[in-house]
Structure 1
Amino acid sequence: MPPQPNRSPNGDPEVVIRVRDLVVELGNKIILDHLNMEVYRGEILGLVGASGSGKSVLTRAIIGLLPKRLGTIEVFGENFDELPPVARRALEQRWGIMFQHGALFSSLTVKQNIQVPMREFLDLSDELLDELAMLKIEMVGLSPDAAEKYPSELSGGMTKRAALARALSLDPEIVFLDEPTSGLDPIGAGEFDELLIALHETLKFTVFMVTHDLDSLHTVCDRIAALAAGTIIAAGTIETILTSPDPWLRAYFQGPRARAAFGLDLAKAKHD
């Protein structure tokens, strides 16, 4: 059973991200159409959807990298649009982002990549920056000699871990992960999932994870939100999603690949 989300004083799950009636348009095409969703403190939420459905667009809209046409986005109870620049900058320090394919700066070493957010937001000595970067490198399971390597010298799995270390550089309360296991072989993807679970249990951050990896959805996520036709068509636990009558969800979660990932859970859901 997944851990229960943190509760507010009135007993309801504590919401750290609230999206209401979000409309995002790119090139005169509406990508997100009056979308509503919530993310609870302390949970790992997996966002799924077909290719081109707008999963990464939603992530970028939440963190302010894409403009919206309508709607509101609240993070930690703050309306991002209403915050003055200083307050927005302070809010941005409370989340970390791991972009798809890592997005490491090719001209910087792993250690220097990890230090980029630290140098932007913190006033620390070079000695302390080095110490903190090495701590993050160890935290994600990279060897110390990876610190001086450039992205071109890293394997796919090492790139993912380095990108995760950079996302964790400011000890964020929310971590955004965009397809964190894409491009990894099954062993590497499984090891990354195990790392994420261990870090989440230790650091207690909230995770908003875009993924199509059925194994990750099954083993890592507390809840799943499904995006289709520009909106969230279902949200809940694996068990809830498996009982959805929606044709796309049934094809996605009850197809041949899902049988391997979900095993008896899928068989039980189909029987029920």
Structure 2
Amino acid sequence: MNKVKLMTLVSFFVSGAAWATTTTTTTTTSPGGAQSYNSAGTTVETTQSSALDTQVPATRTEAGTQSSMANIDTYDTGLREEIVGIIPQVGVVGFVDGSGSRQSRGVAGLGLDLNISPALGTSRDKDYFLGISTGAFYSHMGPSNASFFGDNSGSGGATSANMLLIPADLKVGYNFTPAFRTSLHGGGNVLYRSTANAANTGDAVGSDSLWRLYPNAGADFEWQVGKNVSLIARPDVTFTSGPTVLMGTLGATFIPSI
């Protein structure tokens, strides 16, 4: 009997010792992650976890997307699509005055081109220009000893002499590249002089104004520099009964969308 009690007492102490050595793990969660502790307060395990780690990255719009979508083929809104061209120009006109001296004066004007090729229906037709070229160009000639702009207040000559030139031409051209076109123009130039003998054209001269139509020929060289805008260089020769009238201008062609 005493032996049984002794065995029971030993078993009780052994069980108590085993319970005393058992650790309890407690898990606490913080915003930065989860930490585990045993009953003695010693950290057992630290696991970093963040809600941000489980998120799928948001889709972002590339900075250049908008500009890419707005990227329009410049050359489809310029020379190849031209139906109407409005062309302000400046340049030089050369002529022989009544005394036989070669003169040069400044000239300015506005040209107008009308192209029927885009209306013909095929993309190949857009490589050609076929139409009419007209406009009006003005030069203040002044006396024979005037400046480039026709001014000479000390002269008693034809100080008020002016010239007006109105082209009436056919124009034929070809786009060698989408941004470059070469054309030939020809037909006639209507030439007005407020004082007839201010420029020698081989006609009977006098003090009265004079209107005449003379044949002409020239070329147009055009470079597209932006949407609906191109630059133009335009040499032109007017064939009179006497000395030729030479004109060279530079300008910008504005091509409205039609």
TM-score normalised by length of structure 2: 0.18
Q: Higher relative CO (CA 8 A, sep ≥ 6), structure 1 or 2? A: 1
Bigger-Rg structure (1/2): 2
More strand by share: 2
Q: Which has the higher helix share?
A: 1
